[in-house]
Structure 1
Amino acid sequence: MSGIYIHIPFCKQACHYCDFHFSTNAQRMDEMVAMINKELVLQKGYLGENKVIKTLYFGGGTPSLLSFTHLESISQTIRRNYTTDLEEITLETNPDDLSAAKLAELKKVGIDRLSIGIQSFDGRILKFCNRAHSAKEALEALEKAKGAGFERLSIDLMYGFPHQDHSIWEKDLAIAILQEPDHISSYCLTISPKTALGKWEKQGRFVQADEEFVAVQFEIMQERLGSAGYIQYEISNFAKPGKYASHNSNYWRSVPYLGIGPSAHSFDGKSRQFNVANNNRYIKSIKEDLVPSTLETFEGVDRLNEYLLTSLRTIWGVDLNWIEANFQINLTAEKEAILDKLQSDGLLQNQDQKLTLTNKGKLLADSIASSLFL
């Protein structure tokens, strides 16, 4: 089972926190889609023979800016060049793009899951982030999507905005729960140097929330969403039982996938491939029948550490038997003192040779993983 990720590097406007690769100049949209189709052909051997594509994910950027013709051409290229048995086709979208006509087009082209970038239901936060939609449009988008027959809906929320208390975040969670989406992705506000927020922080115009404030919001999120029946199956992702995102789950479970488009990443089980994050260079290279990518090979200990880092983020956890069978390493013996300390501190648990983080441990996921690295 494998997946394909398509990166659409265009947005209407730049959100102040975003450091993903995109351009607000969509004049080369048609040309970009043509090159994405061409890369799909150039890369069709990447995953090896007889790999069945089970998931397709349109991300970005803002893939909902694509027209029906664009989406149809990409879908047809995949079906012509790959063995497919698609069980999930996700498209990221912003609320302001979801008109009735657009939703009908998405349905027609085969999109069966929408990931809606709401971020907040508070108008002040949306304005601060330079989002293109209002809180009212966010709620309307959810209603329109449901009315159009989209049963698989995910919404993105963001926490960690500095404020005198947690009232905004508590209200965002309450509103989100009332909408009853089957999936909620929730990310902490992070400051990257090249973003508007990064520049404001450097100039002293913005001060991010402290770690304790953010930690409390993380715990509020766990409690509220857990009480509403959502399972935290990955650090930042919550879903109703049986409604996990298949494509994203495969990332964390080390299932091979192919990334297409500028800045897209791929993984074949032994190495990662990173496409150039530049639209002009990407288009120029693909026209010359060259995939503009950098290869990063990792084996042995590096591969094991990657497995630890990603698997500990999930409810499936780290399989100690799998590590011993594939790496001939007894992690329990190698890291006995550290594992005992993590368990006694209530951060980690070992059930049937599977290491998983407790709710408390999820706050420290990366540092716990790094303490287990070999």
Structure 2
Amino acid sequence: MAGIYLHIPFCKQACYYCNFHFSTSLAQQPAMVQQILREITLQRDYLSGAPVSSIYFGGGTPSMLPQTDIEILLQTLRDTFPVQPDAEITLEANPDDLSPEKLQALFAAGINRLSIGIQSFYEADLRWMNRAHNSQQALQCIINAKAAGFNNLTIDLIYGGPTLTDEAWASNVQQAIDLGVQHLSCYALTVEPGTALDQFIRKKKVAAVDTDKAARHFEQLMQWTAKAGYEHYEISNFALPGWHSRHNSSYWQGQPYLGLGPSAHSFNGHSRQWNIANNSLYIKSMQQDKVPFELEELTPVMMINEYIMTTLRTSQGCILPVVEERFGRQKRETLEQLSRQFISKGWMIRHNDTLILTPEGRLFADGIASDLFF
């Protein structure tokens, strides 16, 4: 199985914390769609004929695209790749875009899963983040999406922010649960270099992120979602049984995927490549039938480290027989030895030859993975 990701690099305004590639000018949007269509054709052989089980429109804000653009992109993908009839087709959306009419158009275009950037149901949080929507739109868009026929919804929530109290965080999570949202992606507020938030903190216009607060919110999140029947199947992702993200799961399982559009990444099992993160240069290069990307061939050490990092983030864990099969018995034995320190701390368990992080260990997932790297 394989996945396809399309990066739509346009937004109405810049959120203070965001470091994804985007532009707030829509002048190049028509040309961008045409060149992504061209890239689809040029990259037709990248997945070597593997069946495509998921398509993901990310960004940016792909919900800004007209219905006709989404339809032609999907039809071209289906004409070019062996897309499965039941493929999961996700589109990231902002609440302020999701009017009843827009939702009907997205449904008619073939989108069967929405990833909605709620972030918070509280006005103070949304204003502090410089989000384009308000708290009423955050609530109403979910109600409208369900009425339009969408039965596979995921929402993003951000925790640990300075305006988010413990009580408001509890209310945010409970609101999502009460609305019957099948999937939650929850992220700690982080300060990415070069973002507006980074500049504000450097200039002491806002306080630094409270890591203790973020850790507390994460621990509460794990407790509340477990009680509500959600499966914590990846560090930041929680789903009701049967509603795991097929697209993101393929990333964590090391399946191949093709990225289309500026800044999009691709992976075919032995190399990784990423397109230029510049809209004008991407369009210019594509007009000359040249995909503007950089390529990195993966060494065996890079592959095992990536396997450790991605699998430890999931509830399936790092499977030692797979390590031995792919990378050799010595690598397995070394990994077993290194993992004992985390097992003794209660941050990891070994179950049926699989290394799995405990709820406490998930607080330190990145550090644990890096300590296990070769």
* Alignment TM-score > 0.5, same fold: yes
Counterpart check, 1:291 vs 2:301: no
1:83 deviates by 1.2
Larger displacement relative to structure 2 (90-99 or 171-180): 171-180
1:331 deviates by 4.3
1:238 deviates by 0.3
One-letter code aligned to 1:147: A
1:370 deviates by 1.1
**Aligned ranges 1:315-330 → 2 under 5 Å:** 315-330=315-330
- Structure 2: tracts of 5 or more residues without a match: none
1:165 deviates by 4.6
The alignment of Structure 1 onto Structure 2 pairs a total of residues equal to 373
One-letter code aligned to 2:2: S
**Structure 1 CA distance for aligned equivalents of residues 79 and 233 of structure 2:** 34
- Give the structure 1 partner of residue 268 of structure 2: 268
1:329 deviates by 3.1
SS, match of residue 115 in structure 1: strand
**Structure 1 CA distance for aligned equivalents of residues 31 and 329 of structure 2:** 49
SS, match of residue 363 in structure 1: helix
CA change 1:361–1:246 in 2 (3 A) is same
1:169 deviates by 1.3
1:80 deviates by 1.3
**Structure 2 CA distance for aligned equivalents of residues 217 and 139 of structure 1:** 21
- Give the structure 2 partner of residue 189 of structure 1: 189
**Structure 1 CA distance for aligned equivalents of residues 329 and 281 of structure 2:** 43
Counterpart check, 1:72 vs 2:82: no
Larger displacement relative to structure 2 (248-257 or 169-178): 169-178
**Structure 1 CA distance for aligned equivalents of residues 160 and 261 of structure 2:** 31
**Aligned ranges 1:44-193 → 2 under 5 Å:** 44-48=44-48, 50-85=49-84, 86-163=86-163, 165-193=165-193
2:265–2:275 CA contact under 8 A, matched in 1? yes
Deviations 1:88-138 (A, max 9, x none): 000000111111111111111110000000000110000111111111111
Deviations 1:197-225 (A, max 9, x none): 11101101112233222111110111111
One-letter code aligned to 1:32: M
1:193 deviates by 2.5
- Give the structure 1 partner of residue 307 of structure 2: 307
SS, match of residue 359 in structure 1: coil
Deviations 1:131-190 (A, max 9, x none): 111111111100000001100000100001025852221221121211110000001111
- Structure 1: tracts of 5 or more residues without a match: none
Q: CA RMSD in A?
A: 1.2
1:315 deviates by 0.8
One-letter code aligned to 2:50: K
**Structure 2 CA distance for aligned equivalents of residues 360 and 274 of structure 1:** 34
SS, match of residue 301 in structure 1: helix
TM-score in terms of structure 2 length: 0.97
1:323–1:330 CA contact under 8 A, matched in 2? no
- Give the structure 2 partner of residue 342 of structure 1: 342
**Structure 2 CA distance for aligned equivalents of residues 329 and 211 of structure 1:** 39
TM-score in terms of structure 1 length: 0.97
**Structure 2 CA distance for aligned equivalents of residues 259 and 228 of structure 1:** 35
Larger displacement relative to structure 2 (358-367 or 323-332): 323-332
